[in-house]
Structure 1
């Protein structure tokens, strides 16, 4: 139901209310309902109608859909998002370019984010006014809650503390729910799964990954020019102990390898930035032998250099099969 239709329904309801009250006055004729009382009833009806229409505005709906799309596009292969309660939000998500063409949802946005083979997930209940200026400063630990299959109280309390601590570390953010989930909570959930410590209550720190499994990942984009992005890639490679390269210019190519947690966090960091046509080609354990060498991060300028570097690593087919260069390059 659009805004115009909602207004017509509300107007019709007010007329029925006044007609009913006037009939009571006429029948009883006892003065129990004075004109002043009728005026009061009218004002209550108007106020409630305004409150109902004010639950959602095109601005807040669009803003919430933007963040929902950002979360959805940033999830890894074993991460999933599911909307709950209202099919109206699913319809809005599919037609997010023109939300005015669809009915205003009758319930708040609510969704779950899960990882495969992990009995704990995050449930997000988005306030109606989330995305409006006055909603800045909301406590995210009251929006994002922890749920699970057969989860113990200590596990839930421990994870809820992590949610609170992580939300306090965000500071100013244009997309706080996205940043909390994608750059903080999901990496920690993966780490806890790998180390088999889903109960963080015994530690004051977030669960840390204790695993030597090697992963690698390949991403491509329309271009990679920004000095800020290039510096960030270099810093992340050092912080997360991953090696690899970035091919600058057109197209942009990013390849990294390291521990599972390091590579997955590196990929999450990359996806959290603004890109044109960013594609995650894969993030997985390599099926071939690892070529050991000095851990470093380098920049390349030509597609041919990408093929040569992947050939040196014994991974040439990963780029050639995806149309990046050719075997004879």
Structure 2
């Protein structure tokens, strides 16, 4: 049965949502047929730029079923997603019509079976979702992929022989920095997931205040904080403002060295009062009080 314009519209809507939810280093690609051009890749690019200009009736007549590949750079495991001609996400009565396979050039059979069991379990959780593929990939598959890769990398690092004759604690890149953002709001699960993953991979300490307004604070080595800031700025925000990015004052660096329990930890808060309390505990209350947080309110700037 060929695609219809209404079904194609639903598929493009979900795939476009998935494509734009990926983190830096994650890739979304259409797997083209054996011969001929990659129609889905072209179509998704056109949909992202100007969906209204597409003649979906005409496109649907000759378009093959979607076959997609989702992967992360440097990780030898990827996901292949296939859509049938009648897949409509949560709009379909039977809510079927898609498949997810876990692949990898060096993936052992037992690992692949464990992954496929995980996929099956999570597919059942999202069977009533409006966007099941998007939910499955962004909420479970990619986070688990990164978690397993980070765990393996840490195991490899801990088992590697120690370097001799090198002082890895010296150099300007090891100066401790901190950064503070405010935004109109922070509610997106994908943004919250991204912040958590970046903080873990970059060994940063900090927190995000979700809801309205949004507040993001992090501390770590200079290079890592600067990379985190770049990643945050690359996302789409309403009224995002960078409040500070600067070296941590010397007296606060010393206090942080004494506070071992909070290193490499990321927290989320829902209330402004919790942000004030956390910054007070860190002896950094002045940074948010000067902005109006915890006193008469917060001015995050006019929406852009």
TM-score range, shorter chain: 0.5 to 0.7
| Matched pairs, number | 214
Deviates more, 1:93-102 or 1:67-76: 93-102
Match of 2:12 among 54, 65, 68: 65
Partner of 2:96: 138
Partner of 1:271: none
User: Can you give the 5+ residue segments of structure 1 that lack an aligned partner in the other structure?
Assistant: 1-50, 198-209, 211-215, 259-274
Partner of 2:296: none
Match of 1:106 among 54, 58, 63: 63
Say which structure, 1 or 2, has more relative contact order (CA 8 Å, 6+ apart).
Answer: 2
Point out the structure with max Rg over C-alpha: 1
What is the CA deviation profile of residues 50-69 of structure 1, one whole-angstrom value per residue up to 9, with x for unaligned ones? x4xxx111111111111111
Q: Give the CA RMSD over aligned residues.
A: 4.9
Q: Write out aligned runs for 1:201-216 (5 A).
A: none
Partner of 1:272: none
User: Can you give the 5+ residue segments of structure 2 that lack an aligned partner in the other structure?
Assistant: 159-177, 221-234, 292-298
Q: Write out aligned runs for 1:266-277 (5 A).
A: 277=237
Q: How has the CA–CA distance of structure 1 residues 297 and 138 changed in structure 2, closer, same or farther, with 3 Å as cutoff?
A: closer
**1:123 match: secondary structure:** strand
The normalised TM-score by structure 1 is 0.50
What is the CA deviation profile of residues 280-307 of structure 1, one whole-angstrom value per residue up to 9, with x for unaligned ones? 999xxxx976945878654339xx99x9
Contact 1:220 1:278 in 2 (8 A): no
Partner of 1:48: none
Cα separation, 1, equivalents of 2:179 and 2:93: 37
Q: Write out aligned runs for 1:1-329 (5 A).
A: 51=1, 55-85=2-32, 87-96=38-47, 97-98=51-52, 99-100=54-55, 103-104=59-60, 105-131=62-88, 133-134=91-92, 136-138=94-96, 143-196=99-152, 222-223=184-185, 244-246=207-209, 249=212, 252-255=214-217, 277=237, 291=256, 292=259, 297-298=268-269, 299-300=271-272, 312=284
The normalised TM-score by structure 2 is 0.54
Cα separation, 2, equivalents of 1:184 and 1:148: 18
